[in-house]
Amino acid sequence: MIFKLFEEFKDFAIKGNMIEIAIGVIIGAAFNKVVDVLVKEVFLPPLSLLTDGLDFAKQKWVIRAASSTEVNPKISEVAIGYGKLIEVSIDFFIIGFTVFLVIKFMNSLKNKAENPKDVSVKTPKNIELLDRVADLLEVQNQLLKNKV
């Protein structure tokens, strides 16, 4: 049982799936850091300048202010921090748009490679074979129509 599980894991790792996932996670983490710096150091400072020095990360809606009384020596503040949500939303938009562009580019390459008529990109063998089979079936259908 354990040996079978180990063999399946080895097959999974050797086929490249695990390596591709690990590379994706590493690149994603690095990309997240780049976007975080881009938002905090490039986008938000000019936006803060336009809003008279407003620091978005510290923006909040105070529901109950912190106070101190004799009965209750320390009442903590209750607030909704919407500024951080603005920063994270900008991060999300940038990451989402970048992923959209990358997938759009990869799909265009994939579509180009799967088109057997396009000679600028090498078509995979299985697509070439399916295209030849389709051509042969078309010829066969024409021959059968002419016999009838």
- Binning pLDDT at 50, 70 and 90, where does residue 119 land? low
Question: 86 in a domain, yes or no?
Answer: yes
pLDDT for the residue numbered 42: 86
**Residue 118 CB contacts under 8 Å (≥ 6 apart), including other chains:** 112
How confident is the model over 62-77, as a mean pLDDT?
78
pLDDT for the residue numbered 16: 63
Domain count, the chain: 1
- The model's pTM is 0.55
The CATH number that applies at residue 49 is: 1.10.1200.120
Question: 34 in a domain, yes or no?
Answer: yes
Question: 74 in a domain, yes or no?
Answer: yes
pLDDT for the residue numbered 121: 67
Q: In this predicted model, what pLDDT tens digit does every residue of 24-67 receive, in sequence order?
A: 888 888 888 888 888 888 888 887 788 777 777 788 888 888 87
Question: 148 in a domain, yes or no?
Answer: no
Parent domain of 79: 2-114
- Residue among 132, 39, 128 nearest 89 (CA): 39
Q: What is the rounded distance in angstroms from the CA atom of residue 88 to the CA atom of residue 96?
A: 12
pLDDT for the residue numbered 125: 77
